[in-house]
Structure 1
Amino acid sequence: MGKLSYVNLALQLIFVANLVAAVITVFKEKREIAATWAWLLVLVLLPIIGFILYLFVGKKLPRNQIYDIRTQQQMGIDQLVKLQKEQWNEKELLPADEMSDTAREMVHLFLETDSAILTKHNHVEIIIDGQEKFRRLFADVKNAKDHIHVEYYTFYNDKIGNEFLHLLEEKARQGVKVRVIYDSFGSRGTTKRFFERLEKLGGEAESFFGGHHSFSNFRLNYRDHRKLVIIDGQIGYIGGFNVGDQYLGRSPKFGYWRDTHLRVVGNVAEAMQSRFFMDWNATVPQRRVDYQENYFPLIHRQGNTSIQIVSSGPDNEVQKIKLGYIKMINNATEYVLIQTPYLIPDDSLLEALSLAAFSGVKVKIMIPAKPDHAFVYRATQYYAKALLENNVEIYRYNNGFLHSKTLVVDGKIASVGSANMDYRSFKLNFEVNAFLYDQELSTQLRTIFENDMLHSTKLTIADFNAQSYWLKFKQYFSRLLSPIL
């Protein structure tokens, strides 16, 4: 047997061994079929490299970690959930003259799937500019008297990050209880040392899951993508803005940063507080926080908005935020307006959007004009074209980077939060959204969308057909990997 024959035999054996290892690796963990085939493609086409990627991105959460998250009790919420379910059955929670049938169904959906209480009489302000968001947030933090709870995917060690940290340090020095949860991967460059002075002054800061779920644990998925601030159990912030200079338009790469955030005052802070404590107790079980009245103060009527705070993540097989999106889209009769930086819908969401558009509902989706993640953006372009072919209108926002995550239906119901319109937000990341049952706020969000259209280009099939073959190939290839992006 010649030398070339030995080489060919060796290559064949390596290929077979890699294929067998790939099949065993992918199929030993329960996952969706699309994700299974996507990982199989990566492992087969990229020997060795594919397995390294799988170590960092593909491994699922250990069962014991999921169990720890699931068993966190919703502080002060459990009995209220039970009462609201009884009231809903008796039609006392939502009288017919207060809410539409669609809203009633949405409320029941989230009560059943997420134990998300309906909070009424809240005051809500929509913030779409980073400078305004931090101006309002800093003012509220300065006025804090009892506690400040902060949870961000990104908390950068940059100018605005240090300004925020120094403000938190000053409040801790004054005796206000400060707790911070940050995601170690989303906050690249920010280490435990960054928060040393805060902790010396009595504050606490922990990366999500602490050392058990860090970069060193070979897992880049299952990140804490939530953005929450709760002040004195009365004021809350929720939406798309993180903490970093780029969110104030200071990054030359992105330019102006267009996002959507909510400042809320009222009983909704109780639901946000509960979410924060579940995440805190899962992250720092040795410093678990139990129910205290000062964390859940009695709040009198602040406004007219009814809200549910809905969470989703890999701790539960039910994709609650996605179900809410689909319910809203399926019940739309006039229009659906969506802003998302990443448009990678699964089959169920793709069908819902297409069905609505084919049924005469005006479906409009706005995406960025520039990428922050190359593969994700190419997949977004692929699905934008696919939806365009199904009567959906696609707009490309040109005035900087669009990071807003909003959904508005018929001027009646809206959602604002951290969840993007993609697999990662629905299955892999820990997310939180506010679902708003308020015509005035929904109309405001519609107006904001229409103003953004003035800075956008309405895409056509001709725009996609004019793209180079290489760009089209990257879009098709990225689409194949979309379940794991």
Structure 2
Amino acid sequence: MQQILTYIFIALYSVTILGVVLVIITENRNPLKTLPWIIVLVFAPVVGLVFYFFFGQNLSKQRIISRRTRKRISMRLVETDETGRAEIPEQWKPLARLFESAAHAVPLYGSRITPYTDGNAKMEALLNEIRRAEHHIHLQYYILCDDRTGRQLRDALVAKAREGVRIRILYDDVGCSGVKKAFFESMRREGIEIHAFLHVRFPRFTSKINYRNHRKIAVIDGRVGFIGGMNIADRYLDGPGWGTWRDSHFRIEGRGAAGLQASFLSDWSATTKQRISGAEYYPPVGHFSDGILQIVPSGPFGKWRTLLQGDSYAIAKARRRIWIQTPYYLPSEVLNSALQTAALAGIDVRLMLPARSDSRVVDLASHSFLDDMMKAGVRILFYKPGFLHSKLLIIDDDLTVIGSANMDFRSFEHNFEVNAFVYDADFNARMARIFENDARQSHALTPAEWFNRPRSRRWTESLMRVFSPLL
């Protein structure tokens, strides 16, 4: 009897493995992604099934945030008065249309953008805006820690809640997995509405553990918003313990805040099933500049990978320069090839990475891509004072990309992210000066030192590269 049960188990297990392999094949994925999963499932079926369940399922056809909801919310952003407005540069008009088609991201005019390059300045600015709030405060963070910084924010929010200001908070369930429930409950007791995005609950949502909300958004009274790379935690102010934490965050005043509002309310609707609208969430605001921007959300569910498509298009259309800051460089083949092609064509391509990151494994995988980049003529800069966590893309003299997305598989394929594409020469020049200042504190990698690194390190980098889609 035991032998019969063993045969039945082996038969069912084999059918399961074969079924999963057939599902992967019929999903018509990129062959570079399909073959590794098949190999793992065939040669290490137990481990392969576990990893596939958590990290491998293709959920792109599912809808967490419906296109109808996103479109309905975005309709409030459309401006009817076009007299006297600046125009999107001709070179970038197709890019703007791409975002309108794929993400309902409409061009927004006249915003004032203030950059912050350290956590203390950003936190002070955010708290100042919270103190001025009169109607509502909307916050969304991947990480919201119960530490000195988190408690400082909590106390400021509680004070405003007691004044009658409506406060809504979204946090990521995995990003905040180490935070005790009491921290969030202390805010709920004060009337603050706070929810985890995409709860990881066994068994229903366990397969979605690989899909996280990495956005960092704050909107105060619909008039001021914040976007960038800084979460709420002490390390974003004090550093990682072995240097400074160099990051970028931005205060947006004017119509751009409405774009952040639409992104937040789309996620709020998906999480709580509450549809929030009304003129009080999109108040009239002044025009503070001639700049134009688009707030572009992107996520793993749905057909398009909007930020990957946008960055790839912009890089391919660059004429003079492409300057990049990213903490992790794990690019798709399309993006990697576009950067190498641009460098070979004589365009000034610079890639700034941290000399040391917060992940040794990611460092090794990132470095495996640098050989071909250097051979193509890309200038590689290693930022030395601490951990470079900034996300920045400067194209030519009139396009700048800021926001939450790293230049890696996770941000482009698996995370919910939001970037601002800014069509503004003045802002572009300001960010270029910040990049150049960081470059003066960086080590410019030379081919001689890079290609003479130990062979054992090269092998380790190549091995880690295999796992780059999962990092």
- TM-score > 0.5 by shorter chain: yes
Q: Which residue of 2 aligns with 1:319?
A: 305
Using the TM superposition, give the Cα deviation of residue 168 of structure 1 relative to its aligned residue in structure 2, in angstroms: 1.1
The amino acid that maps onto 2:305 is: Q
Letter in 1 for 2:236: Y
What code does the residue aligned with 1:333 have?
R
The residue correspondences of 1:347-426 to structure 2 (distance < 5 A) are 347-426=333-412
Q: Equivalent residue for 1:129?
A: 118
Equivalence for 1:141:
130
Native 8 Å contact 1:414 1:437 kept in 2: yes
> In the alignment, is the contact (CA less than 8 A) between 1:58 and 1:219 conserved in 2?
no
Against the structure 1 CA distance between its residues 38 and 483, is the aligned structure 2 distance closer, same or farther, given a 3 Å change threshold? farther
Structure 1 residue 31: deviation in Å? 3.1
Equivalent residues of 1:107, 1:118 under 8 A apart = yes
Deviations 1:55-75 (CA, angstroms, capped at 9, x unpaired): 3222333855x2554342445
1:7 is aligned to: none
Counterpart of 2:75 in structure 1 is 78
Q: What letter corresponds to residue 72 of structure 1 in structure 2?
A: T
Task: Letter of the 1:274 partner, please give it.
Answer: A
2:425 pairs with 439, 442, 459, which one?
439
Q: What is the aligned partner in structure 2 of residue 167 from structure 1? A: 156
Match of 1:457 among 412, 427, 443: 443
- CA shift in 2, pair 1:459/1:46, >3 Å: farther
State which drifts further: 40-49 or 136-145: 40-49
Taking the TM superposition and a 5 Å limit, the aligned residue runs for 1:37-186 are: 37-44=35-42, 46-61=44-59, 63-64=61-62, 66=63, 68-78=65-75, 81=78, 98-186=87-175
Cα distance change of structure 1 residues 165 and 425 upon mapping to structure 2, 3 Å threshold: same
| Residue type of the alignment partner of 2:160 | K
Distance of 1:31 and 1:394 partners within structure 2: 32
Identify the match of residue 467 of structure 1 among 439, 453, 463: 453
- Contact kept? 1:407, 1:414, Cα under 8 Å: yes
In structure 2, the CA distance between the partners of 1:28 and 1:93, relative to structure 1 (3 Å rule), is farther
Separation of aligned partners in 1, 2:60 and 2:424: 40
Identical residues among aligned pairs (%):
34
1:332-347 matched pairs, under 5 angstroms: 332-347=318-333
Structure-2 change in CA distance of 1:239 and 1:473 (3 Å): same
Deviation at 1:191, TM superposition (A): 4.2
Paired with 2:332 and 2:84, the residues of 1 have a C-alpha distance of 32
Amino acid at match of 2:31: I
Q: Which moved more, 1:218-227 or 1:262-271?
A: 218-227
Contact 2:357 2:388 in 1 (8 A): no
Go from structure 1 to structure 2 and tell me whether the alpha carbon gap of 1:294 and 1:27 turns closer, same or farther (over 3 Å shift). Answer: same
Matched, 1:198 2:198: no
Q: How many residues align?
A: 462
Question: Given the alignment, which residue of 256, 260, 270 partners 2:244?
Answer: 256
Alpha-carbon distance change, 267 to 55 in structure 1, aligned in 2, over 3 angstroms: same
C-alpha distance in structure 1 between counterparts of 2:350 and 2:61, whole Å: 39
Deviations 1:260-291, CA, capped at 9 Å, x for gaps? 11101001111111110110110111xx0321
Give 5+ residue unaligned stretches, structure 2.
1-9
C-alpha deviation, 1:453, in angstroms: 1.0
Deviates more, 1:33-42 or 1:233-242: 33-42
Distance 2:83 2:211 in 1: 35
Candidates 216, 234, 255, aligned match of 1:267:
255
Matches of 2:165 and 2:90, distance apart in 1: 43
> Taking structure 1 as reference, are residues 211 and 52 closer, same or farther at Cα in structure 2, changes over 3 Å only?
closer
- Greater mean alpha carbon deviation, residues 296-305 or residues 462-471: 462-471
User: Are the equivalent residues in 1 in contact too, given 2:353–2:388 (CA < 8 A)?
Assistant: yes
User: Which residue does 2:3 correspond to in 1?
Assistant: none
**Shift in Å at residue 94 of structure 1?**
9.8
Contact 1:94 1:104 in 2 (8 A): no
In 2: Cα distance, 1:461 partner to 1:301 partner: 48
> Please, which moves more after superposition, 68-77 or 453-462?
68-77
The separation in 2 between residues aligned to 1:213 and 1:450, in whole angstroms, is 48
Code of the aligned partner of 2:49: F
Cα deviation, residue 16, structure 1: 8.5
Please say if 1:328 is aligned against 2:325.
Answer: no
Q: How far off is 1:171 after superposition?
A: 1.1
Q: Residue 281 and residue 99 in structure 1: after superposition, are their counterparts in 2 closer, same or farther (change >3 A)? A: closer
By how many angstroms is 1:28 displaced? 5.8
Contact 1:184/1:190, CA 8 A, preserved across alignment? no
2:216 aligned to 227, 242, 257, which one? 227
Task: List structure 1 runs of 4+ shifted beyond 4 angstroms.
Answer: 15-22, 44-47, 92-95, 211-216
Q: Decide whether the 8 Å contact of 2:77 with 2:259 is kept in 1.
A: no
When structure 1 is superposed on structure 2, of 259-268 and 72-81 the one drifting more is 72-81
Q: Is 1:27 matched up with 2:28?
A: no
Inter-CA distance 105–18: structure 2 relative to 1 (3 Å threshold): closer
1:376 Cα deviation after fit = 2.2
| Separation of aligned partners in 1, 2:199 and 2:157 | 20
Give the TM-score of the pair, scaled to structure 1: 0.88
Shift of 1:462: 2.6
Distance 1:212 1:332 in 2: 44
Hey, what's the Cα distance between the residues in 2 that align with 1:174 and 1:401? 39
RMSD: 2.7
Bigger mean CA offset, 257-266 vs 474-483 = 474-483
